[in-house]
Amino acid sequence: MNTPTGRISIVCLFLLILCLSTSCMARQDSPGSGMTSASTEAPVYGQSQELPFVQATLASRPVRLMLAKTAQQQMYGLMFRTALGADEGMLFCYDTPRQMSFWMKNTILPLDLIFFDADLRITEFIKGMKPGIGVRDILLPRYTSALPAQYALELASGTIDAWSLRPGERLEIPLPLLGTE
């Protein structure tokens, strides 16, 4: 490809690949992307992050939650986690309501996703998000809230149906715990 047209094609292809990879990285770092990391340091790639659990109640059921409050914690989310108890989950906490978009990059477990308003009432949910481990970024589905939400909760897939959760039900958790950093 020593022709001017051939060289231009190669340059254009290179620029397209560069733009796509930059786009994927930007999406990965965006708030509400469903990814997270440790409090002050990112976990080692390939290991799940370990955040402390706090006690809460969802629709009168006790639940243990990890709180993803920083952008780094939210970016890493439940990546690489191989087990999640039936009463465990990760709550993504934000300062204000926003439309949220999650993906399952490097997530091994299928998950349910519940969105909450500022008063911690369920507004909507997405059942059965598919694991994304080993899937190229461009092929990962995005799971997006239809309405603005302030909190999102990831639980083991099947929990929404098993607990018969419905919009309007409330998450009870001490409010000071939800402050974002």
- Enclosing domain of residue 153: 31-178
Q: Is 33's pLDDT higher than 60?
A: no
- Report the CATH number that the domain containing residue 56 is assigned in CATH: 2.60.120.1140
Kindly state whether residue 101 falls inside one of the protein's structural domains: yes
**Tens digit of each residue's pLDDT (9 = 90 or more) over 101-149:** 999 999 999 999 999 999 999 999 999 999 999 999 999 999 999 999 9
Assigned domain for 68 exists: yes
Query: What pLDDT, on a 0 to 100 scale, did the predictor assign at position 152?
Result: 98
Residue 13 lies in a domain: no
Q: Which of the four pLDDT bands, split at 50, 70 and 90, describes residue 42?
A: low
The answer to whether residue 6 is domain-embedded is: no
Q: What is the rounded CA–CA span in Å between residue 179 and residue 175?
A: 7
| Residue 95 resides in a domain | yes
Total number of domains in the chain: 1
Classify residue 100 by its DSSP letter: -
Task: Give CA–CA dist 19/21, Å, rounded.
Answer: 6
Q: How far is Cα 84 from Cα 89, in angstroms, rounded to an integer?
A: 7
pTM metric for this prediction: 0.76
Rounded distance, CA 150 to CA 116, Å?
6
